[in-house]
Amino acid sequence: MILEARLVETKRNCCFVRCCLWKALWKRVFEDSVAAKLMPFVLLASLAVLFLPWPPSVFAAAPVSSPLTYDSAAEQKLLDLANQARVQAGLAPLHPDDGLTEAAREHAAAIAERQQLSHQLPGEAPLAQRLATSTNLHLERGGENVATAATVDQIYASLMRSAPHRENLLNPSFNVAGFGVVRNGYLLFVTQDFGEGRETYSAQTSEDLVAASVTQKRQQQRRSSLLRLNSSAAQAAACSMARANSLITPMSRDMAQSRYLLRYTSNQPQNLPSSAPRAIGDRNISAFAVGSCYAKTTSYPNGVYWVALMFY
């Protein structure tokens, strides 16, 4: 039995929009596949916005009442087979990620215990949230295959013959993965978690990226250069927003004294909000300060840069 459910990007959230059930039998192999885009964070034309918030998590891990054994050799074999197929297709290999491996193992254990293939068991967080909270990487998108059969070869052959599952394995966007394999009786239960991940920037690097964008925009508007001020106050303001999980925080003296104050969140710190050119192009400003703080919060479990940009 193959169950396909696909997560696709919408303007406001990440949701299941299609679920089709086919009945077929092949060597007692049961499979399931999902391709998911993690929620994008769209910058709005406002000086202070919250965009695409996630509600606070109310999910707990699905209980596993009996000890199950992870088959690390099977996990490695599946990864090797996947990377061999990717190389043959001219794609970069998947790099193992400890966080995604942990998430895959937990889910494999849960479906093995319940003898039920699903991407979200009762009491379990949705796929996008499971992946985002498991890894230190910033994920742009993610995907998951789940399957069960007696052998690794049966599972791999079946996944590669199914278009949705093969699409995950050979997705050129994915660069990291974590595979979990659990044996329960004579069956192997497999979860393959995929992600398009990138390392996060340090505060200094992300602030430099913002500053470079400000300087470039200022030059494009043929204005005199701006002096970049010490960013300690701005950085404190950015981290205060991250801790509060809100763009609306008490105004510090430095914030109150600025001619323009931009507070926003962004997946890519070098991308300025649409309202920034007005402030940057003002002939009456002569200096600016920028603070950036990367954090994962209940509104942004995948992580986001909180930015405070002050013009004087």
In a domain, 293, yes or no: yes
Last residue of a domain, one of 177, 198, 219: 198
DSSP state of 51: -
Model confidence pLDDT, tens digit, residues 209-256: 999 999 999 999 999 999 999 889 999 999 999 999 999 999 888 889
In a domain, 14, yes or no: no
For residue 303, give the amino acid letter: G
Whether 243 and 184 map to the same domain: the answer is: no
Listed residues 149, 173, 198: the one ending a domain:
198
Does one domain contain both 172 and 222?
Answer: no
pLDDT of 17 over the 80 cut:
no
Q: What is the pLDDT of residue 7?
A: 29
Range of the domain at 173: 70-198
Asked if residue 43 lies in contact with residue 50, where contact means CB atoms within 8 angstroms, the answer is: no
- Taking the C-alpha atoms of residue 82 and residue 37, their distance in angstroms, rounded to an integer, is 21
Alpha carbons within 13 A on the beta-carbon side of 87: 8
Same domain, 219 and 130: no
Q: What pLDDT shows up at residue 59?
A: 35
Number of compact structural domains in the chain: 2
Query: In the prediction, which pLDDT does 65 show?
Result: 43
Residue 20 pLDDT level (bands cut at 50, 70, 90): very low
For residues 263 and 180, membership in a common domain is answered with no
Rounded CA gap, 119 and 164, in Å? 14
| The pLDDT value given to residue 67 | 66
Q: Which pLDDT score, from 0 to 100, does residue 118 have?
A: 87
Say yes or no: 212 and 119 in one domain: no
Claim to verify: residue 214 and residue 164 sit in the same structural domain: no
50 contacts 241 by C-beta, under 8 angstroms: no
Looking at the domain assignment, is residue 253 inside a domain? yes
19 part of a folded domain: no
Q: Tell me the two tokens of residue 244.
A: 């509060």
- Same domain, yes or no: 170 and 99: yes
Domain stops at, among 178, 198, 218: 198
Q: How many CB atoms lie within 10 A of CB 204?
A: 11
Q: What is the DSSP secondary-structure string of 245-308? A: TSS--PPPHHHHH-SEEEEEEESSTTS--TTHHHHHT-TT--EEEEEEEEE--SS-TT-EEEEE
